C-alpha cells in the first residue's frame, strides 16, 4: 500500500482525554478515531489488525469444530421477555422501536437468539453436540465508557454457544473452547492467564476468564508464585490455616471506646493487632438480617457471602437498617447480645481467635476477651474473606501474589438456564424429550487489540507482534526527490510484494524525521529504509522490537528479511 494515498493520519500530540497508552497510541498512530463517546471508527491500519485477530480466532474456532454463523444485531424484545432477562438489564441494554412501534433491543449478547434458532432447527440427539459462533458487533450502553476501545459501547465480540446432550458432553465442549482460547491468545503473542472466575448473574457453574496481565487492568488476579493456580480475586478460595494461640481465655469485659469506630482506630486505641479484632458486617439476605464476621485484618468477600446464601439477594444493610436491628451505628456493632432473628456466619479464621475484641452494639463501647466458642452463636464457619497476597496458594503450592488483568475472554458452562426458559429440547435415542445443555464462550476482539498494544509498545509507539501487525514491512524512501532512491523504492515495493510480503510503502514527500517518527509510531515489525547508499544498492533494515539496524545489499534483502521475520514469529 502506498502511504501517499493511504489514510494513516498520525498525530504528534497526545489526545487530552486518552488516559492509557493503548488509547493514546491507537489514536496517534491513526488506527482509530472516536465518533462519539465509547463509539469508534477503525481506520485502514486499525481495520487490518482487526481482520488479522479475527482470522486467528476464526481458524482456531473452526479447528475446534465451531460452525460460523452471523446473527442479527437487532433482536425482538419478545425473545428477552421469553428468557426472562428483559427486566434484568437497565439502560445498559439499548432498546429501539421499529416503524410499527414494535420493541427491539440492540444485541448485547446472543443467548436468546441462538437458543431459539437451535430450538427451531435441531430436534434430534443425532445433530448434537453442536458449536455455533459468530464474530459480530455488540452494543452495551456503558455508563462510563473509558480507555478507548477497551471499554466501548459498541464493540466486536466473538461469541460461541455449544449445545450438548449431557454434562460430560458439555465438559468436552468447554475443554475444546478452553484450549482454542489458549491457542488464540498465544498466537496473538499475549502474556495472559486463564483464571477461575465467578459466573455472576448468568448462572452456570464452571467459568474461566482469560486475563491479559496489565497494570491498567480492572480485574485483580490471585496467582500462585510456584504453580499455575490463578483465580479472579473475587472468587479465589482461601485455604489459610489458623492455629489457636495458647493464651488463657479471659472473662468478657465491656470497655469504653469513645468515638472509636474503625478497625484502625480500635487497634491503635487498644494497642492490639488487627488480627485480634472481629469485623462485623450486617447484610440483608432476602430482607432477613445476617451478621457476617471476618477478622479485623481481612476483608469480607461479598461474592462468597452471596454464594454462602446460594445467590439469594444479599445487600449490605443501610445505616438505618443497622440502627433499627442492632440499636447502634455500624462502628460499634458486634455478634454478642443481638436479637435472635439475626443469624451469624463467620469466616473460618474467626474460629481460632482467643480473647478477641468486637463491637458491643452500644455507642462508644466494645467488648474484649471475646472467645468465639464460649461467647458467640455462629451458625456456620465458611470461607468468606478475600484472599490476600502472602496467603498460601489454594493448591498447596507456593504463595499468592496479585496482578491486574484485562479480561479478553470468558467461557461459561451455562447448563439449561436458557434452553429450559426457551424450550430448546431434543429427542434422545429412546425418543424421550430432553433439554439441551449449553455453554457460551466470548472473546472481546476489539478489546484484545487494545490489550495487545498495552503489552507491546515503547516510548516511540506501538511494537506490533508479527502475527497481528497491519503490514509485515515498512518500506521508506527517505528522499523521494532523489531519482535513484525513488527508483529503488519502486523496484523494492514491487519485488517485496511479489515475495508475498504485506508492504506499507512510505512514498510521501515528507522529511526523513517525520517519516521515521511515523514509522516508529505505527510500529510495523521491520523497516527497510532507502537513503544515500541507494546508488550502491545498500538499504538499512531495522527491527522495531529490538532497534537492531543492518546495512543490507538488495541482493541479500529477501533472505535477510525472511530470517528476521521467522525469528519474530
Ligand atoms: C446485557 C447487557 C450486558 C451484559 C449481558 C446482557 C454481560 C450479558 C454476560 C454475557 C455472557 C456471555 C455470550 C458470550 C460470552 C459472554 N453483559 N452479559 O449477558 F443485556 Cl446490556 O454476555 N454471553
Q: For 350-368, what is each residue's pLDDT tens digit?
A: 999 999 999 999 999 999 9
Query: Based on the domain organization, do 48 and 179 belong to the same domain?
Result: yes
Q: Which of 321, 351, 382 is the last residue of a domain?
A: 382
Query: Based on the domain organization, do 430 and 487 belong to the same domain?
Result: no
Q: Is the shortest distance between the CB of 93 and ligand 1 below 6 Å?
A: yes
Per-residue confidence (pLDDT) for residue 199, from 0 to 100: 65
For a mutational test of ligand 1's pocket, the pick from 108, 114, 412, i.e. the residue with the most ligand atoms closer than 8 A to its C-beta, is 108
CATH number at residue 258: 3.90.960.10
Per-residue confidence (pLDDT) for residue 52, from 0 to 100: 98
User: Rounded to the nearest whole angstrom, what is the distance from the C-alpha of residue 89 to the centroid of ligand 1?
Assistant: 10
Taking the CA of residue 105 as reference, the ligand 1 atom at the shortest distance is: 20
Taking the CA of residue 442 as reference, the ligand 1 atom at the shortest distance is: 15
Low pLDDT (below 70) residues in the chain: 199-205, 311
CATH number at residue 521: 3.40.50.800
Per-residue confidence (pLDDT) for residue 148, from 0 to 100: 97
Per-residue confidence (pLDDT) for residue 244, from 0 to 100: 85
248 part of a folded domain: no
Q: Residue 553 forms beta bridges with which residues?
A: 538
Per-residue confidence (pLDDT) for residue 241, from 0 to 100: 85
Query: Based on the domain organization, do 366 and 425 belong to the same domain?
Result: no
Query: Based on the domain organization, do 156 and 99 belong to the same domain?
Result: yes
User: Rounded to the nearest whole angstrom, what is the distance from the C-alpha of residue 110 to the centroid of ligand 1?
Assistant: 8
Q: Is the shortest distance between the CB of 298 and ligand 1 below 6 Å?
A: no
Per-residue confidence (pLDDT) for residue 198, from 0 to 100: 76
Q: Comparing C-alpha atoms, which of 443, 451, 452 is closest to residue 155?
A: 443
Instruction: Give me the domain span that covers residue 423.
Output: 21-237+402-453
Residue 325: HSE in the Cβ half-sphere, 13 Å Cα cutoff: 24
Helix or strand or coil: residue 329? coil
Query: Based on the domain organization, do 410 and 363 belong to the same domain?
Result: no
pTM across the whole model: 0.90
Per-residue confidence (pLDDT) for residue 178, from 0 to 100: 97
Q: For 254-309, what is each residue's pLDDT tens digit?
A: 999 999 999 999 999 999 999 999 999 999 999 899 999 999 999 999 989 998 99
180 part of a folded domain: yes
Per-residue confidence (pLDDT) for residue 203, from 0 to 100: 53
Query: Based on the domain organization, do 441 and 299 belong to the same domain?
Result: no
Taking the CA of residue 201 as reference, the ligand 1 atom at the shortest distance is: 9
What is the number of residues in the chain? Answer: 569
Alpha carbons 347 and 42: distance in angstroms, whole number: 49
Residue owning the nearest CA to atom 1 of ligand 1: 108
CATH number at residue 117: 3.30.930.10
Q: Is the shortest distance between the CB of 410 and ligand 1 below 6 Å?
A: yes
Per-residue confidence (pLDDT) for residue 201, from 0 to 100: 57
Taking the CA of residue 140 as reference, the ligand 1 atom at the shortest distance is: 21
Per-residue confidence (pLDDT) for residue 240, from 0 to 100: 85
Q: Is the shortest distance between the CB of 56 and ligand 1 below 6 Å?
A: no
Query: Based on the domain organization, do 506 and 440 belong to the same domain?
Result: no
All three cell numbers of 355? 480473647
User: Rounded to the nearest whole angstrom, what is the distance from the C-alpha of residue 117 to the centroid of ligand 1?
Assistant: 18
Q: Is the shortest distance between the CB of 109 and ligand 1 below 6 Å?
A: yes
**152 neighbors 167 (Cβ within 8 angstroms):** no
Q: How many domains does the structure of the chain reveal?
A: 3
Query: Based on the domain organization, do 160 and 265 belong to the same domain?
Result: no
DSSP string, 365-432: EEEEEE-HHHH---SEEE--B---TTSBPTTSSSBEEEEEEEEEEEEEEEETHHHHHHT-EEE-TTS-
Q: Is the shortest distance between the CB of 202 and ligand 1 below 6 Å?
A: yes
Q: Residue 527 forms beta bridges with which residues?
A: 474, 542
Q: Is the shortest distance between the CB of 21 and ligand 1 below 6 Å?
A: no
Residue 309: HSE in the Cβ half-sphere, 13 Å Cα cutoff: 24
Q: Residue 231 forms beta bridges with which residues?
A: 196, 222
Alpha carbons 137 and 134: distance in angstroms, whole number: 10
Q: Is the shortest distance between the CB of 79 and ligand 1 below 6 Å?
A: no
Q: Is the shortest distance between the CB of 207 and ligand 1 below 6 Å?
A: no
Amino acid at each position: 500500500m502506498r502511504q501517499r494515498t493511504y489514510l494513516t493520519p498520525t498525530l504528534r500530540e497526545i489526545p487530552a482525554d486518552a488516559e492509557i497508552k493503548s488509547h493514546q497510541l491507537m489514536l496517534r498512530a491513526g488506527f482509530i478515531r472516536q465518533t462519539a463517546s465509547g463509539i469508534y471508527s477503525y481506520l485502514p491500519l486499525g481495520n487490518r489488525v482487526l481482520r488479522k485477530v479475527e482470522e486467528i480466532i476464526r481458524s482456531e474456532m473452526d479447528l475446534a469444530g465451531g460452525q460460523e454463523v452471523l446473527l442479527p444485531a437487532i433482536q425482538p424484545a419478545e425473545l428477552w421477555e421469553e428468557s426472562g432477562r428483559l427486566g434484568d438489564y437497565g439502560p445498559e441494554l439499548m432498546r429501539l422501536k421499529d416503524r410499527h412501534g414494535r420493541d427491539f433491543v440492540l444485541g448485547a449478547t446472543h443467548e436468546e437468539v441462538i437458543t431459539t434458532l437451535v430450538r427451531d432447527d435441531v430436534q434430534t440427539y443425532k445433530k448434537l453436540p453442536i458449536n455455533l459462533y459468530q464474530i459480530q458487533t455488540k452494543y452495551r450502553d456503558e455508563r462510563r465508557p473509558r480507555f478507548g476501545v477497551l471499554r466501548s459501547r459498541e464493540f466486536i465480540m466473538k461469541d460461541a454457544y455449544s449445545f450438548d446432550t449431557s454434562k460430560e458432553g458439555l465438559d468436552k465442549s468447554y475443554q475444546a473452547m478452553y484450549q482454542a482460547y489458549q491457542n488464540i491468545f498465544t498466537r496473538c503473542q499475549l502474556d495472559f492467564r486463564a483464571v477461575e472466575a465467578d459466573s455472576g448473574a448468568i448462572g452456570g457453574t464452571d467459568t474461566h476468564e482469560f486475563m491479559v496481565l496489565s497494570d491498567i487492568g480492572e480485574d485483580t488476579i490471585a496467582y500462585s508464585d510456584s504453580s499455575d493456580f490463578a483465580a479472579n480475586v473475587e472468587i479465589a478460595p482461601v485455604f489459610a490455616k489458623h492455629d489457636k494461640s495458647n493464651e488463657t481465655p479471659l472473662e468478657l469485659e465491656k470497655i469504653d471506646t469513645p468515638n472509636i469506630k474503625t478497625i484502625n482506630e480500635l487497634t491503635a486505641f487498644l494497642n492490639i493487632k488487627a488480627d485480634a479484632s472481629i469485623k462485623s458486617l450486617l447484610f440483608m439476605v432476602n430482607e432477613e438480617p445476617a451478621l457476617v464476621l471476618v477478622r479485623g485484618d481481612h476483608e469480607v468477600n461479598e461474592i462468597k457471602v452471596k454464594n454462602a446464601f446460594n445467590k439469594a439477594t444479599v445487600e449490605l444493610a443501610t445505616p438505618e437498617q443497622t440502627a433499627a436491628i442492632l440499636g447502634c451505628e455500624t462502628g460499634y456493632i458486634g455478634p454478642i447480645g443481638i436479637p435472635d432473628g439475626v443469624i451469624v456466619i463467620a469466616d473460618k479464621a474467626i474460629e481460632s481467635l482467643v480473647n478477641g475484641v468486637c463491637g458491643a452494639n452500644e455507642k462508644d463501647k466494645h467488648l474484649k476477651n471475646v472467645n468465639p466458642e464460649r461467647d458467640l452463636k455462629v451458625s456456620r464457619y465458611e470461607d468468606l474473606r478475600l484472599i490476600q497476597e502472602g496467603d498460601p496458594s489454594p493448591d498447596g503450592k507456593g504463595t499468592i501474589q496479585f496482578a491486574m488483568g484485562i479480561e479478553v475472554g470468558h467461557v461459561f458452562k451455562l447448563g439449561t438456564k436458557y434452553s429450559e426458559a426457551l424450550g430448546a429440547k431434543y429427542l434422545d435415542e429412546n425418543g424421550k424429550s430432553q433439554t439441551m445443555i449449553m455453554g457460551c464462550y466470548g472473546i472481546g476482539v476489539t478489546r484484545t487489540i487494545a490489550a495487545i498494544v498495552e503489552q507491546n509498545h515503547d516510548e516511540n509507539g506501538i511494537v506490533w507482534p508479527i502475527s497481528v501487525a497491519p503490514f509485515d514491512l515498512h518500506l521508506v524512501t527517505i528522499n523521494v526527490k532523489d531519482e535513484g532512491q525513488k527508483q529503488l523504492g519502486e523496484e523494492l515495493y514491487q519485488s517485496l510484494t511479489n515475495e508475498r510480503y504485506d508492504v506499507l510503502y512510505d512514498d510521501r514527500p515528507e522529511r526523513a524525521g517525520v517519516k521515521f517518527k511515523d514509522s516508529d509510531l505505527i510500529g510495523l515489525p521491520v523497516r527497510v529504509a532507502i537513503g544515500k547508499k541507494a546508488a550502491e544498492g545498500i538499504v538499512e533494515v531495522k527491527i522495531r522490537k529490538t532497534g537492531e539496524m543492518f546495512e543490507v545489499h538488495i541482493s541479500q534483502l529477501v533472505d535477510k528479511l525472511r530470517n528476521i521475520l521467522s525469528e519474530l514469529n
